[in-house]
Amino acid sequence: MKRIINALFIIVAAGVFAQAGAPAAYYNGFNWNLTGNALKTALTTKITDTDVVDISYSDLWTILKFTDLNPQNSAQVLLMYGYENGTDGMAFNDRARDKNNDGGGAGQWNREHVYAQSVGTPDLGQSGPGADPHMLRPCDVTQNSARGNRKFASGSGNAGTTGQNWYPGDEWKGDVARIIMYMYLRYGDQCLPVNIGAGSTIASDSNMPQIFLQWNAEDPVSPFEDQRNTYIQVTAPASLRQGNRNPFIDNPVLATLIWGGPVAENRWPNLFLSTETRTLDEATAIYPNPAKENYVYVNASIDLETIEVININGQLVQRIARPTEVNDTYQIQNLTKGFYLVKLTANGQTTTKKLLVN
């Protein structure tokens, strides 16, 4: 969410701004040495185990009036996909509206499923994934209808259709990306990103469209997103407190560590070194590991010069010079079952990683 927001959210400041240097207490004990699918799986466990209150669809009318408060006017909520200050006479494009003007009529706001309910596998319904406050956002009724269940696709400027698809707007595209990635981790195959995002997918995960990694990197987290995240986890009344967090709001670089792609904002510099200062070992990961097929991926935020695969007998079975990368991801193919050492070289550094192919 690029738009500059001047107000500080005093009620959640202690919980939010501590994250500028290190993870919040929510993550105490988490293993931050993981990358790739291992990190994805561990975060899935974390956000699932801490999802302790079942939010009803009707509860969202109350919750959204707190999570989505306009930081410049506490009588209003911000509207997803909105971009105008309400002076042009066209209500559908308003960026904010009276928080109590909710309902189903023109000029009101209602509950937008950022991950469209009907494209879930199965349909998300109106409980569980269909009532998760991390995903539901206030939206003008007409704008919500215009978006419908269109897939998100690349664009620029304000929200609107792009061909048969939908661009959420420059202000909201990062919010959308982080919501979709959260839903994928939390609900798995029921909320595949490829069902709601258009365009090519990344090499390491055919379920993840590249556009979401791009938007996550281009549009940094705003205090508004932090406000939502903390309210849902800890600030809401106990009966409305879901208890979990969206990790990609806490630190967008987690998406980079899982899927590669453009390097996103790192909000925990005390934990994750920048790509310029990370060692080769820290900047690379092999997945899946163990592998079930005859190929694996190497994710690297540093351009690799060589990849060498050595079998258990010490024999060099593959050497790839100047390997081709796609979104910071390389592929090693034609592997037979066995144990290997994979030697990676870049910028005068060398690291060796263990690999098992089942």
Cβ atoms of residues 256 and 264 within 8 Å: yes
**pLDDT of amino acid 352:** 93
Question: Mean pLDDT across the stretch 75-100?
Answer: 95
**pLDDT of amino acid 19:** 54
Could you state, in order of their start, the residue ranges of all structural domains in the chain? 10-259, 284-357
**pLDDT of amino acid 96:** 97
Per mean pLDDT, which range of 142-146, 345-349, 353-357 is the poorest? 345-349
Question: Mean pLDDT across the stretch 217-228?
Answer: 95
For the four alpha carbons of 261, 266, 269 and 270, in that order, the dihedral sign comes to negative
Note the CATH number of domain 284-357.
2.60.40.1220
**pLDDT of amino acid 281:** 82
**pLDDT at residue 270 tops 70:** yes
**pLDDT at residue 7 tops 80:** no
Residue with tokens 């009101």: 108
**pLDDT of amino acid 11:** 31
The Cα 134–Cα 112 span in angstroms is 11
Percentage of the chain lying above the pLDDT 90 cut: 76
- Residue-wise pLDDT tens digits, 89-133: 899 999 999 999 999 999 999 999 999 999 999 999 999 999 999
The Cα 83–Cα 219 span in angstroms is 16
**pLDDT of amino acid 9:** 32
Question: Mean pLDDT across the stretch 238-262?
Answer: 95
**pLDDT at residue 21 tops 70:** no
**pLDDT at residue 222 tops 80:** yes
**pLDDT at residue 153 tops 60:** yes
**pLDDT of amino acid 83:** 96
Residue 314 burial (CB < 10 Å; 0-12/13-18/19+)?
Answer: exposed
**pLDDT at residue 14 tops 80:** no
- Residue-wise pLDDT tens digits, 155-166: 999 999 999 999
pLDDT band at 3 (very low <50, low <70, confident <90, very high): low
**pLDDT of amino acid 110:** 98
Tokens of 158: 């304000």
The Cα 41–Cα 203 span in angstroms is 18
- Residue-wise pLDDT tens digits, 45-57: 999 999 999 999 9
For residue 24, give the amino acid letter.
Answer: A
Give the 3-state secondary structure of the chain.
CCCCCCCCCHHHHHHHHHHHCCCCHHHCCCCCCCCHHHHHHHHHHHHHHCCCCCCCCCHHHHHHHHHCEECCEEEEEECCCCCECCCCCCHHHECEEECCCECCCCCCEEEEECCCHHHCCCCCCCCHHHHCCCCEEEEEHHHHHHHCCCCECCCCCCCEEECCEEECCCCCHHHHHHHHHHHHHHHHHHHCHHHCECCCEECCEEEEEHHHHHHHHHCCCCHHHHHHHHHHHHHCCHHHCCCCCCHHHHCCHHHHHHHCCCCCCCCCCCCCCCCCCCCCCCCEEEECCCECCCCEEEEECCCCCEEEEEECCCCEEEEEECCCCECCEEEECCCCCEEEEEEEEECCEEEEEEEEEC
Pairing of strands 165-167, 160-162: antiparallel
Residue with tokens 């791009």: 214
**pLDDT of amino acid 25:** 93
Question: Mean pLDDT across the stretch 169-189?
Answer: 98
The Cα 265–Cα 180 span in angstroms is 17
**pLDDT of amino acid 326:** 81
**pLDDT of amino acid 245:** 98
**pLDDT of amino acid 274:** 55
Query: Computed over its alpha carbons, how large is the radius of gyration of the chain?
Result: 22
pLDDT band at 12 (very low <50, low <70, confident <90, very high): very low
Question: Mean pLDDT across the stretch 148-154?
Answer: 97
